[in-house]
Amino acid sequence: MPPFLNRLWRHVRSTVAPVPDISATLWLQTLQRYPFLAALSLHDQSKLRALSALFLHHKEFHGAHGLVVTDAMAIDIAAQACLPLLHWGDPAKALAWYDDFVGIVLHPGEAVARRKTMDEAGVVHEHTQVLLGEAMERGPIMLSWEHVANATENTARGHNVVVHEFVHKLDMKNGEPNGCPPLPAGFMGARTGRAAYEAWWNAWEPAYQDFREAVIKAERFGAERPWLDAYGATSPSEFFAVACEAYFVNRERFAQEFPGLMPVLDTFFQRPAHAN
């Protein structure tokens, strides 16, 4: 590592110490596996490395069905989980967004969950649901390692199960997720909290409705399928998560598809104008 990067790393680490280091070898391997991380500036990579180290210090990984979670796997997940928090200032305060849970459960592949739903007549129905990941309110996060590891193909498609589930945690800070996380004071120039939320929904509501319509046309009438994952059409909270994963891993394509959401997400995630 060049001397100036070593100095930068020590400076950033000094804000979060004492926590164990992430080895330079493992960190570089993570950057090589995920193109959207490798595309970050050297300064942001160093900040992300320090933030990820603090994240790993406070979280516990568990492998399901005999899966052994290696250090490299944990670092891969930590880096992607911390990406939305990268520009939120003090690392400890930024990671407070994730303070309602400790455990992260990795399945080798897709997980099957048993669900119960009640219809309008009050009849309870049982069914199974295939999951790539799940964020539980005030509970752990579950991820499919198969889909975490499939970086190249997923990046091109704007998919990222880690970002998806961790931004659900941001959305849950207001309680039941609804597609709008807590907004900071003065968001988008708003003078009141109510005005901030109005600014949010003025951008998100038409984007969501247009996307739902495009998905319906594709599924029912054979129109061209939207680039963004159709799962985002199931609810505003899922649209927020699906949009965020695409925003972080394939920013250029996302900007083409949803130009109206770019300034909103840039503001919320406090992305500097000079960032990659």
pLDDT confidence of residue 252: 95
The CA distance from 121 to 116, in Å, is 14
The per-residue pLDDT for range 91-107, each reduced to its tens digit, is 999 999 999 999 999 99
Extract the tokens encoding 116: 């119960």
pLDDT confidence of residue 125: 47
Residue 115 predicted with pLDDT over 90 = no
Q: Which CATH architecture has domain 178-276?
A: 3-Layer(aba) Sandwich (3.40)
Under 8 Å between Cβ of 135 and 168: yes
Residue 268: C-alpha distances to residues 57, 84, 185, 212 (Å): 26, 10, 11, 23
Residue 265 predicted with pLDDT over 70 = yes
Provide mean pLDDT across the span 164-186. Answer: 94
pLDDT band at 132 (very low <50, low <70, confident <90, very high): confident
pLDDT band at 110 (very low <50, low <70, confident <90, very high): confident
Higher pLDDT, 18 or 245: 245
- Looking from the CA of 244 toward its CB, the CA atoms found within 13 Å total 29
Provide mean pLDDT across the span 59-67. Answer: 96
pLDDT confidence of residue 121: 60
The CA distance from 167 to 6, in Å, is 31
Handedness of CA 185, 189, 193, 199 (dihedral sign): negative
The number of angstroms, rounded, from the C-alpha of 54 to the middle of its chain's C-alpha atoms is 17
Q: Where are the domains of the chain?
A: 178-276
- Of 85, 75, 81, which is closest to residue 47 (Cα–Cα)? 85
The per-residue pLDDT for range 200-215, each reduced to its tens digit, is 999 999 999 999 999 9
Residue 14 predicted with pLDDT over 90 = no
